[in-house]
C-alpha cells in the first residue's frame, strides 16, 4: 500500500508518516521548502522500518506541481492508495489587515491543495474501487478563530469538501474523512508566547496540549480496516476543547 502525506517534512505530517511506515506502507513524503528535513526523515524511515520511501517536493497550491508530483510517485512507489491532505500554513492577523496575497496563500495551500491532490489521486482509487482520503482540518474550522479568519475559512471549507466528496465517491468504494486537531505542539505554535500556550492548555478540558502522535493515531484508525464503515465524518482530536 502506498500513502502520500502532504506537508510531511515536519510536525504532524512527519509523525503520520512514521505511523504508516511502522505499519509497512510505502511512504511518499511531500514538502515545499524543508527538503533537507524530509530527506532525513525518509532515510530514517527506510532504515528503521525497511520500507520504500521517497521525498516529492511540490507546492500543493500549484496544480501543475501537484500533477508532476503524482507522476513521480506513480513511477517510483506506484499509485497512491491512501492520501493524507495535511499541508497547511497559518498566520495571525486582524481580519481587516489580511492582504489579498495572505488570503490566497492560506486558502491556496489548505483548500486548493486538498482539491488538487484529491483530484489526482481519485481516478486510480475509483478504478480500483478502494481508497482512503483523510483531510487534516482544524477545530478552528468548526468553531472559528478570532484573528485567523482566513485560516478558519479554509479549514471550514475542508470540512465541506470532505462531506461532499465522501457522498460522491462512496459508491466507488472510496472513503473520505476529516480530522480536526486542537492545539498540537509543532512549529505552527511557535508564534504563540508561553503565556498564551499555557492559557490554551488550561482551556483544554484534558489539561494538556496535543502531540503530533495524538493526531497520527486518529489518522491511522481512519485509514485502517477498523473504520471501514466510516465516511464523511469529522473526528475531533482536541482534548475536549470543542465539544
Ligand atoms: P507545521 O508548520 O509544523 O508543518 C507544516 C507542514 O506543511 C510542513 O511539512 C510544510 O513543509 C508543509 N507545507 C506548508 N506549505 C506547503 C505547501 N505549499 N506545499 C506542500 N507542503 C507545505 O504544521 P503542523 O504540523 O502543526 O500542521 C499540520 C496540519 O495540521 C496543518 O494543516 C495545520 O493547519 C493542521 N493543524 C495544526 C494544529 C496545531 O496546533 N499544530 C491544529 C489544527 C490543525 P515545508 O516546510 O516544506 O513548506
Q: Per residue of the chain (243 residues), what is the pLDDT tens digit?
A: 999 999 999 999 999 999 999 999 999 999 999 999 999 999 999 999 999 999 999 999 999 999 999 999 999 999 999 999 999 999 999 999 999 999 999 999 999 999 999 999 999 999 999 999 999 999 999 999 999 999 999 999 999 999 999 999 999 999 999 999 999 999 999 888 999 999 999 999 999 999 999 999 999 999 999 999 999 999 999 999 999
What is the pLDDT at residue 191?
86
**Torsional sign, CA 240, 132, 110, 195:** positive
Closest CA to 5 of 76, 61, 60, 78: 60
CB neighbourhood size of 184 (10 A): 21
CA of 38 to the centre of ligand 1 (A): 13
> Residues 6 or more apart from 57 whose CB is under 8 A from it?
30, 31, 32, 35, 38, 69
Closest CA to 180 of 134, 221, 113, 223: 134
CA of 171 to the centre of ligand 1 (A): 31
What is the pLDDT at residue 90?
97
Residue 151: active-site member:
yes
Q: Per the structure block, which three cell numbers stand in for 64? A: 501543475
Q: Is the CB of 10 under 6 A from ligand 1?
A: yes
* From 25, 49, 116, 151, active-site residue: 151
Closest CA to 88 of 39, 20, 151: 151
What is the pLDDT at residue 156?
99
Phi and psi at residue 143, in whole multiples of 5°? -115, -10
Q: Count H helices and E strands in the chain, helices first.
A: 9, 7
Best mutation site among 8, 11, 145, 197 for ligand 1, i.e. most ligand atoms within 8 A of its Cβ?
11
Structural domains for the chain: 2-237 (3.40.50.720)
Q: With contact defined as beta carbons under 8 Å apart, do 60 and 86 qualify?
A: no
Q: Is the CB of 190 under 6 A from ligand 1?
A: no
pLDDT, tens only, 130-187: 999 999 999 999 999 999 999 999 999 999 999 999 999 999 999 999 999 999 999 9
Atom of ligand 1 nearest to the CA of 139: 43
Q: Per the structure block, which three cell numbers stand in for 226? A: 477498523
Q: Is the CB of 108 under 6 A from ligand 1?
A: no
DSSP one-letter string for 11-70:
HHHHHHHHHHHHTT-EEEEEESS-HHHHHHHHHHHHHHH---EEEEE--TT-HHHHHHHH
CB neighbourhood size of 2 (10 A): 20
Q: What's the number of CA atoms in the CB half-sphere (13 Å) around residue 139?
A: 16
DSSP-derived letter for residue 6 is S
Location of C-alpha cell 475536549: 240
Closest CA to 132 of 225, 17, 237, 14: 225
Closest CA to 187 of 81, 89, 56: 89
Angle between helices 212-223 and 11-22 (to 10 degrees): 50
What is the pLDDT at residue 226?
98
Q: Is the CB of 88 under 6 A from ligand 1?
A: yes
Q: Is the CB of 174 under 6 A from ligand 1?
A: no
CA of 236 to the centre of ligand 1 (A): 17
> Residues 6 or more apart from 213 whose CB is under 8 A from it?
15, 19
Q: How much is the pTM?
A: 0.99
Q: Per the structure block, which three cell numbers stand in for 137? A: 482540518
Amino acid at each position: 500500500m502506498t500513502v502520500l502525506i502532504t506537508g510531511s517534512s515536519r510536525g504532524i505530517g512527519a509523525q503520520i508518516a512514521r505511523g504508516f511506515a511502522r505499519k509497512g506502507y510505502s511512504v511518499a513524503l511531500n514538502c515545499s521548502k524543508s527538503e533537507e528535513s524530509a530527506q532525513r526523515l525518509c532515510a530514517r524511515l527506510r532504515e528503521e522500518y525497511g520500507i520504500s520511501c521517497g521525498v516529492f517536493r511540490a507546492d500543493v497550491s500549484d496544480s501543475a506541481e501537484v500533477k508532476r508530483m503524482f507522476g513521480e510517485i506513480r513511477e517510483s512507489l506506484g499509485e497512491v492508495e491512501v492520501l493524507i491532505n495535511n499541508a497547511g500554513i497559518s498566520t495571525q492577523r486582524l481580519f481587516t489587515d489580511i492582504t489579498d496575497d495572505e488570503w490566497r496563500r492560506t486558502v491556496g495551500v489548505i483548500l486548493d491543495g486538498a482539491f488538487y491532490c484529491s483530484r489526482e489521486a481519485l481516478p486510480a482509487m475509483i478504478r480500483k474501487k478502494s481508497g482512503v482520503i483523510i483531510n487534516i482540518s482544524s477545530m478552528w474550522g468548526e468553531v472559528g478563530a478570532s484573528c485567523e479568519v482566513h485560516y478558519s475559512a479554509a479549514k471550514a471549507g475542508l470540512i465541506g469538501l470532505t462531506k461532499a466528496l465522501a457522498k460522491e465517491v462512496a459508491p466507488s468504494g472510496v472513503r473520505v474523512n476529516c480530522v480536526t486537531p486542537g492545539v498540537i505542539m509543532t512549529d505552527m505554535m511557535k508564534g504563540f508566547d508561553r503565556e498564551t500556550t499555557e492559557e490554551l492548555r488550561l482551556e483544554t478540558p484534558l489539561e494538556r496540549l496535543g502531540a503530533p502522535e495524538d493526531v497520527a493515531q486518529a489518522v491511522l484508525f481512519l485509514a485502517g480496516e477498523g473504520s471501514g464503515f466510516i465516511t464523511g465524518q469529522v473526528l475531533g482530536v482536541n482534548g475536549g476543547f470543542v465539544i
